[in-house]
């Protein structure tokens, strides 16, 4: 079984960068896949990688991360201005961020509007399930 946890933007919006990252990492370390509305700031993405590295252990092997973001090249100038205003007022909630534990998600491929998650066959959850079946 694979668990997805949806995080709406309003759930992370009031948090500081450090708290946002900690919240997301906590869910991922619990072996759930985060599907977050919107995206982290660029510097938060790099902080997420840095903190992930600090927490690597034989149990926690890191994360797989992917962000789907609409291609703004196709937007008209009016749409861009409206989007910029909406971002200022409501925060940048366009796009989708997926963060999975490396023990569960083998890799995420993006192409660029499609996302494919390749799962690890030997993730702890799979192993537990198959062990139960054998009994």
Partner 1 sequence: MVKKFLQNLFKKLKFNPFGRRSHIKLGLYGPPNGGKSTLANRICQDWLGEEMSSVSHIAHETREIMIKEQVNIKNKKGKELTFSLVDTPGIATRIDYEDFLKRGMKKTQAKKRAKEATKGVIDSIKWLDNMDAVIVVLDSTKDPYSQVNITIIGNLQARDIPVLLVANKIDLKRSNIEVIESAFPQYSVVGVSAKYGKQIEDFYESVFKLVK
Shortest Cβ distance from residue 135 to partner 1 (Å)?
26
Q: What angle do CA 20, 114, 123 make, to 5 degrees?
A: 65
Chain position carrying tokens 């992917």: 66
Tokens of 126: 């799979």
- The CA distance from 89 to 7, in Å, is 20
Tokens of 31: 């072996």
Q: Does 62 bind partner 1 (CB under 8 A)?
A: yes
Residue from the set 42, 132, 133, 134 that interacts with partner 1 by CB under 8 A: 42
Least distance in Å: CB of 25 to partner 1? 12
For residues 38 and 97, is the Cβ–Cβ distance under 8 A?
Answer: yes
Binding track over 102-121 against partner 1, x by CB under 8 A: x-----xxxxx---------
Positions in the binding site for partner 1 (CB under 8 A):
42-43, 45-46, 49-50, 52-54, 56, 58, 61-67, 102, 108-112
């Amino acid at each position: 079984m694979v668990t997805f946890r949806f995080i709406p933007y309003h759930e992370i919006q009031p948090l500081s960068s450090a708290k946002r990252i900690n919240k997301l990492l906590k869910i991922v370390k619990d072996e759930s896949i985060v599907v977050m509305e919107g995206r982290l700031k660029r510097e938060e993405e790099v902080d997420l990688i840095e903190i992930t590295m600090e927490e690597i252990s034989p149990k926690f092997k890191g994360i797989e991360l992917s962000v789907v973001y609409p291609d703004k090249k196709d937007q008209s100038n009016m749409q861009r201005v409206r989007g910029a205003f909406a971002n200022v007022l409501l925060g940048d909630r366009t796009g989708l961020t997926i963060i999975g534990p490396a023990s569960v998600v083998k890799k995420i491929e993006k192409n660029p509007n499609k996302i494919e998650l390749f799962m690890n066959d030997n993730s702890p959850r799979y192993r537990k399930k198959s062990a139960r079946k054998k009994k």
